[in-house]
Amino acid sequence: MSASVARPRRPLGVRARVAAKVNLALLVGARRADGYHELLTVLQSVALFDQLDVLPAPGGLGLEVEGTALPADEGNLVLVAAREIARKAGADQGARFRLRKGIPVAAGLGGGSADGAAALLALDRLWNLRLPPEELAAMAAEVGSDVPFCLTGGTSVATGRGEQLREVPASGTFWWVVGAAREGLTTAAVYRRHDELGPARPLVASGLDGLLAALADGDPERLAGTLVNDLERAAFRLRPGLALAKQRLVDAGAIGAVMSGSGPTMLGLCADRDHAHRVAKRAWSVFHRVRVAHTPVPGVIFETEAT
Ligand code: C5P
């Protein structure tokens, strides 16, 4: 007679939680020969998350998306990243992804880049590749300009087209009202309009000194006066209501406001969590959706195994 023996549960898959990003400063320089713009930007991961599950599959790559109408097609950065790591690492296994979106899409919050970063790290685990961080960062840069930052998260200055990172100190927690619009903006379209509006500004690293000092000191009042985004002008031309949305955050009591990335999401900086909730209550009507979220947080975190 055989007694039933509890078998150890085999890890079935991997579950990653990945954070959105915000740009506290986004200075846009010259357009390069490859079509990208030289940037000088300060990025922080913000506590808005997507969840990516990945399970082993017999062959090929599959993706299901929940929580938004985002297409699960070949252009989805989860699949772009998966193809990139499979090709570079010579992996011949398959994988099946399930993406639950919590980060608004085409919002300037790096949601697609976050998903690409999560896919790279999740497959590195699932396929037990143990790739060195530099190799993962190089693959991430192939997937998109913000993907290397989303791998690590935290607080960084980025240069080049956004892929060259230098971690910088940040103290404490900053609280934001994140005002999302109903319809997204296409990054490429915003950069195109930016080019039409005049010559690029020279990028001067010392232009970030005040912002970096405020971050290091954890001082929201000082940080508020240093928030800047060169793409606002172009985004406001494409979507005139955005200027009003930014002003509304200030009128509602935010100590500073700035657009994130190529927009249309607006960020209102607040003194603390309670203040952020008060501002959110006063400002909600101009936005499709308003959230309160803090910075910085880590980029990708692995949670329980996906089943
Ligand atoms: O790198 P990523 O695919 O996220 O960039 C999307 C688009 O944004 C690019 O095709 C380009 O038009 C624009 N872009 C840019 N300069 C950058 C980053 C992005 O012009 N530094």
For the chain, the average pLDDT equals: 94
User: What is residue 58's predicted lDDT score, i.e. its pLDDT?
Assistant: 86
In sequence order, the 6+-apart residues with CB closer than 8 A to the CB of 307 are 12, 13
Tell me, using a 6 A CB cutoff, whether residue 161 lines ligand 1. yes
Question: With 50 as the cut, is the pLDDT of residue 42 above it?
Answer: yes
User: What is residue 59's predicted lDDT score, i.e. its pLDDT?
Assistant: 79
Tell me, using a 6 A CB cutoff, whether residue 88 lines ligand 1. no
Tell me, using a 6 A CB cutoff, whether residue 191 lines ligand 1. yes
* Confidence tier at 305 by pLDDT (50, 70, 90): low
Residue 39 Cα: closest atom of ligand 1: 21
Question: With 50 as the cut, is the pLDDT of residue 1 above it?
Answer: no
Distance of alpha carbon 101 from alpha carbon 251, whole angstroms: 31
User: What pTM, to 2 d.p., does this model score?
Assistant: 0.94
Segment 204-223 mean pLDDT: 97
Q: How far, in Å, is the centroid of ligand 1 from the Cα of 145?
A: 7
Distance of alpha carbon 188 from alpha carbon 35, whole angstroms: 10
- The answer to whether 76 and 63 are in contact (CB under 8 A) is yes
Cis geometry, peptide bond prior to residue 169 (ω within 30 degrees of 0): no
Q: Determine which one of 50, 146, 230, 246 is catalytic.
A: 146
- The answer to whether 42 and 162 are in contact (CB under 8 A) is no
Tell me, using a 6 A CB cutoff, whether residue 36 lines ligand 1. yes
pLDDT of 245-268, one tens digit each? Answer: 999 999 999 999 999 999 999 999
Mean pLDDT check: name the lowest of 57-71, 95-109, 179-193. Answer: 57-71
| 34 among known catalytic residues | no
pLDDT of 60-93, one tens digit each? Answer: 999 999 988 888 889 999 999 999 999 998 888 8
Say how far residue 225 (Cα) sits from the centre of its chain: 23
Segment 40-49 mean pLDDT: 98
User: What is residue 10's predicted lDDT score, i.e. its pLDDT?
Assistant: 53
User: What is residue 239's predicted lDDT score, i.e. its pLDDT?
Assistant: 97
Indicate which residue's Cα is closest to atom 7 of ligand 1: 188
Tell me, using a 6 A CB cutoff, whether residue 136 lines ligand 1. no
| 146 among known catalytic residues | yes
User: What is residue 197's predicted lDDT score, i.e. its pLDDT?
Assistant: 97
pLDDT of 109-161, one tens digit each? Answer: 999 999 999 999 999 999 999 999 999 999 999 999 999 999 999 999 999 99
**Phi, psi for 241 (deg, rounded to 5):** -65, -15
What percent of the chain has pLDDT above 70?
95
Cis geometry, peptide bond prior to residue 199 (ω within 30 degrees of 0): no
Tell me, using a 6 A CB cutoff, whether residue 145 lines ligand 1. yes
Residue 187 Cα: closest atom of ligand 1: 8
How many residues does this entry show for the chain? 307
User: What is residue 306's predicted lDDT score, i.e. its pLDDT?
Assistant: 60
Tokens (6 digits) for 94:
């398959």
The three-state secondary structure class of 194 is helix
Burial classification of residue 205, based on how many CB atoms lie within 10 Å of its CB (0-12 exposed, 13-18 middle, 19 or more buried): exposed
User: What is residue 227's predicted lDDT score, i.e. its pLDDT?
Assistant: 98
Q: Bridge-partner residues for 174, per DSSP? A: 295
Tokens (6 digits) for 176:
């934001």
